[in-house]
Amino acid sequence: MLLSSLSRLEAIIDAETAALTAHDLQDQDDFNRRKSQSLVELARLGRAVDAAQLSAPEIDCLERVRAKLRRNHELLGIHLRAMQEVSDIVSTMIQSAESDGTYSAALRYQE
């Protein structure tokens, strides 16, 4: 049962990583929902599984999922930083467009 749960999670991570690599974020809500469901499922299984009794295929799958999660995490971080930069640019542009220049640093007193 653990292997099948890990395999489902691995498939979700692979699909999300491929979408992130292709800059296709349209299914991000679905990926988040599916990953959350997998997390709940693995948490339940984790309570019933003794880590000392994991089989070699289970350990291999866990290590593979861990590596894929690291890559997925890196890509998500890149996209979040890019989104923050775009948000900052848009915010600055809106503030500039709304400003009448009254408190602008470029304004200098002339004697």
Confidence of residue 1 (pLDDT cuts 50, 70, 90): confident
- In this prediction, residues 13-37 reach a mean pLDDT of 95
Residue type at 80 in one-letter notation: L
Say what the pLDDT of residue 103 is.
Answer: 60
pTM for this entry: 0.76
Say what the pLDDT of residue 106 is.
Answer: 57
Say what the pLDDT of residue 59 is.
Answer: 92
Residues 38-53 as b/e (b if ≥16 CB within 10 A, e otherwise) read: beebbeeeeeeeeeee
The answer, yes or no, to whether residue 32 has pLDDT greater than 60, is: yes
The answer, yes or no, to whether residue 91 has pLDDT greater than 60, is: yes
